[in-house]
Amino acid sequence: MQAFGYLVLKVTGVNPDVNKKEFVGFSDAKKHNALDDAKLAKAGYEKAAVG
């Protein structure tokens, strides 16, 4: 799943191959669920930006 960008992770010094759900702590997110994907993307950008 490419919910949030490779480049964002790379620029912030995070390994882009990291499991995105584990990175943001959303282990219970469902695959192919638009709402969960949006929440995952938002949390991912916020965590990558804050560090």
Show me where the domains of the chain are located: 6-50
Token digits of residue 45: 């950008």
Say how far apart CA 22 and CA 47 lie, in whole Å: 12
The predicted structure's pLDDT at residue 4? 64
Token digits of residue 28: 């219970």
Q: What is the pTM of this model?
A: 0.72
The predicted structure's pLDDT at residue 35? 92
Q: Which pLDDT tens digit goes with each residue over 4-13?
A: 678 888 888 8
Q: Which pLDDT tens digit goes with each residue over 1-51?
A: 455 678 888 888 888 888 888 888 888 888 889 998 888 888 888 888 775
Token digits of residue 49: 């930006």
Q: What is the DSSP letter of 40?
A: H
